[in-house]
Structure 1
Amino acid sequence: MLPFLTMPMRFEDAVEKYAAIAQKMVNGIENLSHLREDDIKIGVTTKESVYREDKIVLYRFQPLVEQPLNTPVLIVYALINRPFMVDLQAGRSLVANLLKLGLDVYLIDWGYPTRADRWTSLDDYINGYINNCVDFISTKHSLAKINLLGICQGGTFSLCYSAIYPEKVKNLITMVTPVDFQRNHALLNMQGGCTLGAEAIDIDLMVDASGNIPGDYLNIEFLMLKPWQLGVLKYLDFPEIMDNEDKLLNFLRMEKWIFDSPDQTGEAYRQFLKDFYQGNKLIKGEVMIGDRQVDLRNICAPVLNLYAEKDHLVTPASSLALEQYIGTTDYTVRSFPVGHVGMYVSSKVQKDLPTAIAEWLQERTEI
């Protein structure tokens, strides 16, 4: 924050501080004046579209080693925000680091739902799109099973998929994944209605009135969980970094990702909020995806559960509950001293997290 606003100082010192800040502002405005949209790129690693269906695109990233691991990894991201947080920029890319370590990486881009997708359901996403992408990869590589890496809500989807189709999943990695949705101290859970159910938020009324749920609404919902830090403080701190072009670009890439929020299809949103948040049905074995019941005890593949110790969106307790409900005996848990987004972009985590994933998979996958 601006130092002369927060501490007493002599007039001469205040003038000097103000002059330094003014110079930073001048340099920052100069930086901003020559930046263009193309300079603020995210999703930087070379990839190709290998499968399309409706709005979704399956990408394969270009392998960086001559002989990548035989069993590919499919990244399943959340429906909220864009999936390229895992490939934000050179030097801060989970995808790039996994490729360097010899993995063959695919990723599902959910695209931007429109009003025509109002009735797209969790059945469509899990029994449809994810299953079709898994089948495409399996056929391409002549494999019966592939590896799944599910992130946040995409981790919950991956748990559902692995419970329904255990014969298609060789290894499962969940990252910052909500499992027990009734941890009352978690603000997102409370806002989703885990404490009061429909009295907290009437999902049916919201979906029936809006159709799809606007991405802007979801942005506000997440920002209001930390209104001072995410809505005010970072902008007060902005003058301190705007004269440094690298830091400025880092800031703008994050802003671009945060506010690039697709709408949520009404029916998928309805079921996810009602069944998972309000009903906490995942751990009860009561979730139905189409006509298929989700019983986490069916998950017999090895599981690596990764969580963030300072996560305010998916609390560690919510993720750690997974061990109680799955059927596998090969269960590994790792934590990292960051928040939710830090799992993707923290330079500290990027040194350890990709290696932890690659080594765990290499131990369980024939090369």
Structure 2
Amino acid sequence: MIGPLNITLDSLAEETGRLQRKLSASVETLREMGDVDFGVTPREEVWRDGKVVLYRFKGEHAPTARVPILIAYALVNRPYMVDLQADRSLVKGLLARGEDIYIIDWGYPDRSDRFLAMEDYIERFIGGAVEYLCNAHGLPSINLLGICQGGAFSLCYASLHPDKVKNLITMVTPVDFHTSDNMLSNWNREIDVDLLVDTLGNVPADMMNFTYLMLKPWRLFAQKYVGMVDILDDRQAMEDFLRMEKWIFDSPDQAGEAFREFSKQFFQENRFVTGGAKVGGREVHLGMLEMPILNIYAEQDHLVPPDASRALRGLCGSDDYTELSFKGGHIGIYVSGRAQKEVPQTIHDWLAQRSR
């Protein structure tokens, strides 16, 4: 026996044999696997502005909801996280409950997009998509679902155009960027953003990814790959694992000017809380958010801590404000089994109560 770890020669030999069997099985598992697909729900392009595309998802049945939902995702990752696979799809869950779902795909910025600003993303792209939906459905306003950074953009848009947003839903959305447990914000505050953007132009996706992974280096650089050994002989589990890996590393570059504005106004200066946030010269006041608001946050979120999201309650001007506390993390809120049961149903029920 070796010390307090209670490791014996027999247990070591058994573990070594198990590892060898798993590695041997992995050869056959990987040989049988093809490309890992993502995005399970059919969709059609309905509007475009440059690289930015608005898609409408097609469910098995026609939607029963009169007012559509527009999803605005973050810029740093691809939006198919909300429709990752058949048993892990927020979109599929909402469609099954009769909702009419649209999503903005920001595309992959290149050097020609270097000077896209927050105003472009909020007024031109979100605003253009909202105008299209209002015209297509004959409505004065639509339901807006903003996720993570897309939630911050949605707060800005809804504050500037409250007449265009019937109901506002935010998921894992940062509002107070200076909570004590916000490691990402603490790091960002030490960056010379002007020097970074002036030097690089667009911010490379690999740099952004490395930053996010370093927030949990042991878990995201080592532990998950060690744990992968346990599923090497399970084709379905390996496909799920690789699908998630593909999403993590399928990150667009960030348009330089928008990155500069967002980082300085929110990560560094916390302007939702302190005031003075601006989009194209117009000041954003969260007190203008008088429409019904559903704010969903994750209790174990290391990117957007709960207090960062909960701050919206004290800053918005709505008398109809609801929170959903989800027991999970930043990614689990889309793909976990618990999320499939709780999140789409909560959104649907909340909207249904306000459509009467």
Task: Note the C-alpha offset of 1:35.
Answer: 2.0
Paired residue total: 354
Mapped to 2, the partners of 1:232 and 1:67 lie a distance apart of 44
1:83-129: CA deviations, max 9, x gaps? 01001101110000000011000000000000000000000000100
Contact 2:42 2:59 in 1 (8 A): no
1:206-264: CA deviations, max 9, x gaps? 00000000000000000000000011111111111111111101110110000001000
Aligned to 2:321: 331
Contact 2:63 2:100 in 1 (8 A): no
Aligned to 1:170: 166
Contact 1:64 1:102 in 2 (8 A): no
Is 1:212 aligned to residue 202 of structure 2?
yes
Mapped to 1, the partners of 2:193 and 2:49 lie a distance apart of 28
Is 1:110 aligned to residue 100 of structure 2?
no
Residue 295 of structure 1, aligned match among 285, 289, 293: 285
Is 1:11 aligned to residue 9 of structure 2?
yes
Mapped to 1, the partners of 2:328 and 2:19 lie a distance apart of 30
Is 1:279 aligned to residue 269 of structure 2?
yes
Gaps of 5+ in 1: 194-199
Task: Note the C-alpha offset of 1:14.
Answer: 2.8
Letter in 2 for 1:279: E
Query: TM-score normalised to the size of structure 1?
Result: 0.94
1:24-68: CA deviations, max 9, x gaps? 11111211123222xx11111111111111111100000333342
Task: Note the C-alpha offset of 1:184.
Answer: 2.6
SS state of the match for residue 172, structure 1? strand
Letter in 2 for 1:224: M
Task: Note the C-alpha offset of 1:292.
Answer: 1.7
SS state of the match for residue 107, structure 1? strand
Aligned to 1:269: 259
Kindly report the root-mean-square deviation, in angstroms, between the aligned alpha carbons of the 2 structures.
Answer: 1.4
Letter in 2 for 1:16: E
Letter in 2 for 1:220: F
Mapped to 2, the partners of 1:255 and 1:287 lie a distance apart of 35
Letter in 2 for 1:149: L
Task: Note the C-alpha offset of 1:182.
Answer: 0.9
Identity, in percent, stands at 48
Give the 3 Å change call, closer, same or farther, for CA 252–282 of structure 1 in structure 2: same
Aligned to 1:183: 179
Residue 297 of structure 2, aligned match among 304, 307, 310: 307
Is 1:90 aligned to residue 86 of structure 2?
yes
